[in-house]
Amino acid sequence: MTPALVFALLLLPAAAGAGSAPVPHEGPAWDLAKGPPNVDAGGRFLVHADGTPFLWLGDTAWELFHRTTREDAELYLETRRRQGFTVIQAVALAEFDGLGTPNAYGHRPLLGNDPARPDLRPGPRDDYWDHVDFVIGRAAEKGLFVGLLPTWGDKVWKAAWGKGPEVFTADNARAYGRFVGGRYRDAPNVIWILGGDRTPVTAERDYRDVWRAMAAGIAEAGAGQLMTYHPGGGSSSSRHLHGEPWLDFNMIQSGHAAKDIANDDYVTADLMLLPPKPTLDGEPRYEDHPVDWDAAKGWMDDYDVRQAAYWAVFAGAFGHTYGCHDVWQFLEPGREAVSAARTPWRAAVELPGAWQVLHLRRLLLSRPFATRVPDPTFLREGQGSGADRVVVSRDQEGRFAFVYVPTGRRVSVKLEKMRGPRTRASWFNPRTGETTVVGEYGAADRPSFLPPGRAGRGNDWVLVLDDVAAGFSPPGAPVAPR
């Protein structure tokens, strides 16, 4: 390829392919026949019994059990299946007065707000838990895992922003754990998430006894699925729980307090701990969320959620959770909007950031997944800082590398770290999933790469570098006609 042609390709406009609709994911969201995922031997990824990796691509649908009808749940789950998600995070005892306000069918989950006394009635549609059963069952039929929170954290520690009431003690938490664990121990698609937007240790009290009791109850019921903990904002479960034997992997909540939160720093910190445990950001900045909960500061958009996803996964997370501010609360006309939510959920499920999760999935699964390691030393001139931070995920054997460039700035890489004598460079567009081949280079070359379009916020790209001899196909996927 001539230098002139290479230069011309580098000047392709960022808008190329913009507005294209991705071809939806076909078939089940994930193959549940592979069995439940478990932590791999290295403590960094989740794998199935046959050794194939599990890619967690989650969505926070916290109020799914509490605020939806069966028809709503069907629409939501089917949309997320088509968009390539693999995990839906939802809460049994929900945040928005989940004990006092009935679900869509007039049912409450507990008798007398007592976790040891779930409200159970004869028949398949006659109590709150029947609806939970339906949603988990339909998710399984679609190949979707459910990251199941037995309760939101305000039922343990209400705090200033919680509705509560605080109903859990160590004793009834164990009994409740036995109930939910026994009910869903045979569900092939359940992964347990304790917590719920709460640190387990406060200045006033250590609540770990409650969470330990709940985890123990779930295990005593024979539920052997994986388990983690959803912490408060700006934190990881590792802060207080990393050594807990029931905690199989860590979960981060980098949160919504600002744009450009360096959630890859949380991932890096978690992966340095011993014993090693996988980690992911289970609640990053949400699409259509007001910055710092203040609409006057602007709104998070699809770029913000892409940036969080690529930073975290390329830093070593085994997956990522997307979120939409309107969807998690299932905002609809006549329902009070929480924290300036502004888009009805049936429209918000189609926002561009959700569809762009499918591009991330296709990129990651286009190459060996569990051989990747973060490697900032692959860059000749450093990662940069703030919104300009470049993050690298590289195959340990040097067969490929992914370089996320969030603001369209020039990057220079060390091709001598690639395995073969020839490396093919391509630009992957995370907005459209399209790939443009730039050229081939030798191991002794010292190229720098300028992403298409103008440098600046929103012009993010992934530089894909492949050992030519590895024979990888372009990482992009088909795009539907406009």
Lookup: tokens for 162? 């919680």
Going from N- to C-terminal start, the domains of the chain cover 3-17+371-470, 32-365
Helix ranges (H only) for 315-402 are: 325-328, 345-348, 352-365
11 pLDDT above the threshold of 90: no
Interval 91-113 mean pLDDT: 98
Give the span between the Cα atoms of 105 and 251, in whole angstroms: 32
Helix ranges (H only) for 233-388 are: 238-241, 263-271, 302-314, 325-328, 345-348, 352-365
pLDDT band, residue 477 (cuts 50/70/90): low
Give the span between the Cα atoms of 364 and 146, in whole angstroms: 21
* Domain 32-365 fold: TIM Barrel (3.20.20)
Interval 357-368 mean pLDDT: 96
* Environment class of 47 (CB within 10 Å of its CB; exposed 0-12, middle 13-18, buried 19+): buried
pLDDT at 22: 78
Shortest CA distance to 184 belongs to which of 248, 100, 92, 98? 92
pLDDT in tens, 49-80: 999 999 999 999 999 999 999 999 999 999 99
pLDDT at 20: 56
pLDDT at 21: 67
Q: What is the mean pLDDT of the chain?
A: 94
Can you give the length of the chain in residues?
482
pLDDT in tens, 227-267: 999 999 999 999 999 999 999 999 999 999 999 999 999 99
pLDDT band, residue 1 (cuts 50/70/90): very low
Interval 391-406 mean pLDDT: 98
Interval 90-114 mean pLDDT: 98
191 pLDDT above the threshold of 60: yes
- SS3 for 10? helix
Residue partners of 161: CB distance under 8 A and separation at least 6: none
pLDDT in tens, 323-334: 999 999 999 999
453: left (phi over 0), alpha (psi -120 to 50) or beta: left
| pTM across the whole model | 0.94
pLDDT in tens, 273-298: 999 999 999 999 999 999 999 999 99
> What architecture does CATH give domain 3-17+371-470?
Sandwich (2.60)
pLDDT band, residue 7 (cuts 50/70/90): very low
Give the span between the Cα atoms of 452 and 461, in whole angstroms: 8
